[in-house]
A and B are shown apart, each in its own frame.
Chain A
């Protein structure tokens, strides 16, 4: 099997070949490392490459498998980690200059669980500084570039995660999502991204941005691979105070159940105030596909939905400023000036305003949950626009002039603030051949159902199989 073929496979496909001994973990590692060598100078998906570590880990996995000690679908699989997951003995920059030389003495829970599953880290991936931006700009490490058009943003903050999976530099990556930072790069880069239910995956050993909104989630080629990642990563961890108790389950078990009989709600309010026509067109076609598979699609009203983003913004910015206060005061000039201002603005938020925002946020969440009593899932576009130019600060959508950051985050942030499981799956391209994402959202802990619907969509569409020409 050629290098191009290997790096185009999903985790599930690679796992079948590794288990069947049709391909060895060492061959897999070599193929992805050669791919990184060939394309990453154009894309900048990696902050730290771990070539030697990857070769050693792949050789160890191969020895185990040959000795009959196969651990499961992640055994011998390379995984990219956003550079805010602590990795023992490997620097973890969080996309910043301040942590440029930070070498953790312990692994994050995600790194631990991946290792236990037999996977290894192939490199630490690009991100925006301290995950506080939805673009893929980084003042210190340069921008991550969209593989579909390298003059375009990859989305953020898990920028390198979206780029690496889309470009075949890694079969899967793990990112974090506070306002959309898994789903936005997934949508803009044309891959599948899951933000699970709040607390489903442990954040132990993750550089925090906002404790009440940070989530960990996979970026993958398919919903099936995202389900495999949940199998490896989900589970209670007392080291993360937000970690939830969830029934042990196989997230791949019901993937083939389809969407027949499911009610899918399309929000009437807010979302459509600002969506590019090409994005709307792709979304409408995606919803028609789900209908053709037997889902019932209905409009739903979610009163007050427009309030959740101002509330989420105040909460996130206040928590971020609280986390960074001492560093802002002592080393403010080491931050990107734009990111520094964003953090510092949170210092001006009074306690009463933070608490008011939390109350409004809770009310909005109740309103969304009320809607989810009437339907099984909600569907929206993932982003209002396709990938803008890297340097683009503003964009006009439906006649409204807004920041690109707002345009890419305004829909995803709703469901980050609500803590609900949400997946982004590729659902089309613009005329300029830029990917568009479909977002499906479920009730708390309905992560399996969200993935089931995305998988049903991917069994009859081919958007997720498209590859950028690099």
Chain B
């Protein structure tokens, strides 16, 4: 599941185009470097049971920026 949800550079380019972002290659590489860690944080949050009464537990170490 983690691999399927991983934002590859190819998927990122498709999304960037859909979002209407300027398709400058070097700029997009820099942007990918910003987006990819965001997706790691999102994957971490998805793995938490966040139903309102569940006790919060981090499933793994949280990576810092």
Interface of A with B (CB < 8 Å)?
274, 303-304, 306-307, 309-311, 313-314, 317, 329, 332, 337, 341-342, 344-345, 347-350, 353, 356-357, 359-360, 362-364, 367, 400, 402-403, 405-406, 410
Contact A410 B42 (CB under 8 A): no
Given contacts A360-B50, A363-B56, is CB(A307)–CB(B62) below 8 Å?
yes
A-B contact pairs, 22 of them (CB 8 A): A304-B57, A306-B62, A307-B44, A307-B58, A313-B41, A329-B21, A341-B30, A341-B34, A344-B31, A344-B34, A348-B19, A348-B35, A349-B38, A353-B46, A357-B42, A359-B51, A363-B48, A363-B50, A363-B52, A363-B54, A403-B64, A403-B65
B22 near A: Cβ within 8 Å?
A: yes
Contact B19 A304 (CB under 8 A): no
**Complex CA distance for A405 and B37, rounded to whole angstroms:** 15
Q: Residue B34 contacts which of A304, A345, A350, A364 (CB distance < 8 angstroms)?
A: A345
Cβ of B58 to closest chain A Cβ, rounded Å: 5
Within 8 A of A (CB), among B23-48: 27, 30-31, 34-35, 38-39, 41-42, 44-46, 48
**Complex CA distance for A132 and B62, rounded to whole angstroms:** 22
Residue of B nearest to A400 (CB): B64
Contact B42 A353 (CB under 8 A): yes
Contact A309 B45 (CB under 8 A): no
Contacts of B27 in A (CB 8 A): 337
Cβ of B4 to closest chain A Cβ, rounded Å: 14
Contacts of A403 in B (CB 8 A): 64-65
Residue of A nearest to B51 (CB): A359
**Complex CA distance for A307 and B56, rounded to whole angstroms:** 8
Contacts of B42 in A (CB 8 A): 314, 349-350, 353, 356-357
Q: Residue B50 contacts which of A306, A332, A359, A410 (CB distance < 8 angstroms)?
A: A359
Q: Residue B15 contacts which of A307, A313, A348 (CB distance < 8 angstroms)?
A: A348
Given contacts A303-B56, A364-B56, A406-B64, is CB(A348)–CB(B38) below 8 Å?
yes
Contacts of B56 in A (CB 8 A): 303-304, 307, 360, 363-364, 367
Given contacts A329-B21, A345-B35, is CB(A337)–CB(B30) below 8 Å?
yes
Q: Residue B41 contacts which of A314, A347, A363, A410 (CB distance < 8 angstroms)?
A: A314
Contact B55 A310 (CB under 8 A): no
Which has the most chain A C-beta neighbours within 10 Å: B7, B15, B45, B55? B45
Which has the most chain B C-beta neighbours within 10 Å: A307, A364, A402? A307
**Complex CA distance for A306 and B44, rounded to whole angstroms:** 11
**Complex CA distance for A310 and B39, rounded to whole angstroms:** 10
Identify the 3 closest CB pairs spanning chains A and B, nearest first. Answer: A304-B56, A359-B50, A406-B65
Cβ of B2 to closest chain A Cβ, rounded Å: 15
**Complex CA distance for A356 and B39, rounded to whole angstroms:** 13
**Complex CA distance for A350 and B18, rounded to whole angstroms:** 13
Contacts of A348 in B (CB 8 A): 7, 12, 15, 19, 35, 38-39
Contacts of A317 in B (CB 8 A): 38
Q: Residue A410 contacts which of B38, B44, B54, B64 (CB distance < 8 angstroms)?
A: B64
Cβ of B33 to closest chain A Cβ, rounded Å: 8
Contacts of A360 in B (CB 8 A): 45, 48, 50, 56
Contacts of B30 in A (CB 8 A): 337, 341
**Complex CA distance for A306 and B64, rounded to whole angstroms:** 10
Contact A357 B45 (CB under 8 A): yes
Residue of B nearest to A342 (CB): B34
Which has the most chain B C-beta neighbours within 10 Å: A309, A347, A367, A406? A347
Contact B12 A402 (CB under 8 A): no
Contacts of A341 in B (CB 8 A): 30-31, 34
**Complex CA distance for A125 and B49, rounded to whole angstroms:** 43
**Complex CA distance for A34 and B7, rounded to whole angstroms:** 55
Which has the most chain A C-beta neighbours within 10 Å: B7, B22, B48, B56? B56
